[in-house]
């Protein structure tokens, strides 16, 4: 993702229904872990998720390959480091949690990324990943934001387990809106990173929040989440 996309995302993520609800998913997962420690947020962009980590008590560092992303995160008062996710500048067994939301799909060698995640995690540490799912949803948006693939449950699980991590849970997100997203993507001519009207934003927020109370996690959605653990 280039610098202009990073700044656009940062301007949107505070109020945009997609990013707000994804942060809510992250916050719930952090509270399920029940403890805070050192964390790395890979591909952090402007640091929206890193801020959630900090708010939940984690000693968190944002990392991104894009210099603009690092600048923006630092402007927001976050600890930020420019880093290639395939070769992280951190010691082995040095962190308790790695988050990587919308990272793996940007990198050809996704196995190198998961291997680095496993390397820097301390035994018993966790990884929380989010990726776009299903190549049937591929569109001009994916091209515009630099995706090289979308994942299925099996392909995501394989690349995580290959790194030596134990998958605890894989679940779908944004299931109810998948038909709308699929229709929109077929008409897409570029990135979907743009503001929505307050009325539409409120309506989409209500729909996506409904999923919290429905058994939709095994159905096909737009995003896959995965939680994994490095064995002792």
Task: Write the pLDDT tens digit of every residue in 32-91.
Answer: 998 899 999 999 988 999 999 999 999 999 999 999 999 999 999 999 999 999 999 999
Alpha-carbon gap, residue 164 to 182, rounded angstroms: 34
With beta carbons less than 8 A apart as the criterion, state whether 1 and 66 touch: yes
The mean of the pLDDT values for the chain is: 92
Q: How far is CA 208 from CA 2, 21, 27, 77, 173, in A?
A: 28, 7, 16, 30, 9
With beta carbons less than 8 A apart as the criterion, state whether 137 and 150 touch: yes
Alpha-carbon gap, residue 162 to 147, rounded angstroms: 22
For domain 3-229, the question of CATH label 3.40.50.300 is answered with no
Domain boundaries, the chain: 3-229
Q: What is the pLDDT of residue 191?
A: 65
Q: What is the pLDDT of residue 193?
A: 61
Residue 185, pLDDT > 90, answer no
Taking only the tens place, the pLDDT of each residue in 214-224 is 999 999 999 99
Alpha-carbon gap, residue 50 to 64, rounded angstroms: 12
Q: What is the pLDDT of residue 140?
A: 86
Residue 170, pLDDT > 90, answer yes
The residue among 15 and 125 whose pLDDT is bigger is 125
Residue 158, pLDDT > 90, answer yes
Taking only the tens place, the pLDDT of each residue in 21-30 is 999 999 999 9
Torsion of CA 40, 230, 109, 90, to 10 degrees: 40
């Amino acid at each position: 993702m280039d610098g202009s996309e990073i700044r656009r995302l940062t301007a949107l993520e505070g109020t945009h229904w997609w990013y707000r609800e994804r942060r809510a998913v992250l916050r719930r997962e952090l509270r399920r872990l029940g403890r805070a420690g050192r964390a790395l947020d890979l591909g952090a962009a402007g640091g929206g998720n890193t801020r959630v980590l900090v708010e939940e008590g984690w000693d968190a560092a944002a990392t991104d390959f894009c210099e603009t992303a690092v600048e923006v995160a630092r402007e927001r008062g976050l600890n930020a480091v420019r880093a290639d996710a395939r070769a992280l500048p951190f010691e082995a067994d040095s962190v308790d949690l790695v988050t990587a939301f919308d990272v793996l799909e940007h990198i050809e060698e996704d196995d190198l990324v998961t291997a680095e995640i496993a390397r820097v995690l301390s035994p018993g540490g966790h990884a929380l990943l989010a990726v776009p799912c299903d190549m049937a949803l591929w569109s001009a948006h994916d091209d515009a934001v630099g995706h090289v693939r979308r994942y299925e449950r099996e392909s995501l699980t394989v690349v995580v387990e290959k790194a030596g991590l134990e998958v605890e849970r894989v679940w779908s997100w944004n299931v109810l809106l998948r038909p709308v997203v699929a229709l929109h993507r077929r008409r897409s001519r570029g990135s979907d990173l743009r503001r929505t009207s307050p009325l539409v934003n409120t309506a989409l927020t209500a729909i996506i929040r409904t999923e919290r109370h429905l058994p939709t996690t095994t159905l096909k959605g737009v995003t896959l989440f995965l939680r994994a653990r490095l064995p002792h």
